């Protein structure tokens, strides 16, 4: 089982990229589980077309432990197993602690043993990398950390902080940094700025995704690009990224 965690600043296109990766991997024959670790609980929406799903934390709040594994899961495009951790009641509790509780509950209910995914992708908000938000990169969860950024200053700052957190866990058996994914916004000197970031954190840019209207068009349909426009150039870019991630993890296919 390949376990990946993808971080990035809010609004950078992280969940869009992850969902298209899940769809592309599914088309390649992989059994994929995508776990959204963002209080907004919208990581997987383009995979299953539903505006609202019951999150793990909602189940914990309303049913304590009296719920099934199936209640935590929504099946998406190509059989992708979709899970949303969710967040605390607004104004009460800590979203980071919520992620910890959700991931522990998934393990307790036997999600990985029951569904036996080939690839697990944790989609994590990267503006803050504190206790709970760093949970997926800890031992036993992800093997590789990938960071999505554009050439915008705040996105690069967030990416550097994530890389710093990964480096801080070095030597503890935690996930290793797998590389930087550039999601272009077409800002000035974008490629150069992100290449400089990669050098500063001793990593590399493993892919550069185009800024394309196709992405917005697919989102308006409530679908991934891979599903809505499978023959588009953007769908090809996501498929190539999926192949790159598998190769970095040491496999050619699931």
Query: What mean pLDDT is predicted for residues 191-208?
Result: 96
At 252 the pLDDT is 83
167 is catalytic: no
pLDDT digits (tens, 9 = 90+) for 211-249: 999 999 999 999 999 999 999 999 999 999 999 999 999
Query: How far, in Å, CA of 181 to CA of 143, rounded?
Result: 17
113 is catalytic: no
CATH of domain 2-248: 3.40.50.300
Candidate list 27, 42, 127, 243, residue with the active-site label: 127
pLDDT digits (tens, 9 = 90+) for 78-110: 999 999 988 766 555 566 666 787 788 888 999
Q: Are 81 and 73 in contact (CB under 8 A)?
A: yes
Q: Are 175 and 141 in contact (CB under 8 A)?
A: yes
243 is catalytic: no
Candidate list 27, 40, 42, 243, residue with the active-site label: 40
247 is catalytic: no
Residue 130 pLDDT level (bands cut at 50, 70, 90): low
Query: Phi first, then psi: what are they for 38, rounded to 5°?
Result: -135, 130
| Percent of the chain at pLDDT exceeding 90 | 65
């Amino acid at each position: 089982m390949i376990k990946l965690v993808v971080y990035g600043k809010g609004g950078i296109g992280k969940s869009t990229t992850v969902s298209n990766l899940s769809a592309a991997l599914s088309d390649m024959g992989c059994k994929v589980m995508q776990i959204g670790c963002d209080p907004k609980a919208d990581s997987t929406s383009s995979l299953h077309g539903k505006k609202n799903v019951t999150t793990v934390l909602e189940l914990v709040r309303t049913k304590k432990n009296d719920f099934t594994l199936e209640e935590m899961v929504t099946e998406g495009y190509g059989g992708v197993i979709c899970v949303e951790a969710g967040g605390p009641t607004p104004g009460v509790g800590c979203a980071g602690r919520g992620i910890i509780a959700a991931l522990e509950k998934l393990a307790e209910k036997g999600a990985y043993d029951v569904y036996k995914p080939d690839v697990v992708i944790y989609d994590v908000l990267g503006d803050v990398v504190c206790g709970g938000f760093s949970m997926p990169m800890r031992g036993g969860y992800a093997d590789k950390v990938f960071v999505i950024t554009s050439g915008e200053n705040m996105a690069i700052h967030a990416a550097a902080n994530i890389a710093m957190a990964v480096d801080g866990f070095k030597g503890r058996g935690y996930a290793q940094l797998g590389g930087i994914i550039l999601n272009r916004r077409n800002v000035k000197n974008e490629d150069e700025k992100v290449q400089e970031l990669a050098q500063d954190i001793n990593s590399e840019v493993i892919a550069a995704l185009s800024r394309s209207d196709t992405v917005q068009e697919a989102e308006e349909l409530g679908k991934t690009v891979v599903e809505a426009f499978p023959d588009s150039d953007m769908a090809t870019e996501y498929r190539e990224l999926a192949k790159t991630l598998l190769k970095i993890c040491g496999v050619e296919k699931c």
